[in-house]
Amino acid sequence: MRIGTVVGNIWATRKEEGLQGLKLLIIQPKKTDGQLVDEQIVAADRIGAGVGDDVILTMGSAAVRSFSKEVICPIDAIVVGIIDGSDE
């Protein structure tokens, strides 16, 4: 899992059928020292994160498995938590 900050939204009127109904967010990942990474990640969100929220992401096969076993969803990252606080 990784930590990042939501920096934007993505809207796509035409997308893969498995993505229908999913909110897509632009996430700026953070390093372990809290500094932002230069790359951005597009992540699916089913829990209601918004711009400015610090979030927990899971990526790769774990993100795909967060859906039912019958649904094949073409995602690489999904928001699995909104961070309320941490001891760094």
Are 73 and 18 spatial neighbours (Cβ–Cβ below 8 Å)? yes
Distance CA 63, CA 57 (A): 8
Residue with tokens 């929220």: 53
The amino acid that residue 30 corresponds to is K
Would you tell me how many other CB atoms lie within 10 Å of the CB of residue 78? Answer: 24
Local confidence pLDDT in tens for the 88 residues of the chain: 899 999 999 998 888 877 778 899 999 999 888 888 889 999 999 899 999 999 999 987 766 666 655 556 778 899 999 999 887 6
The pTM assigned to this predicted structure is 0.84
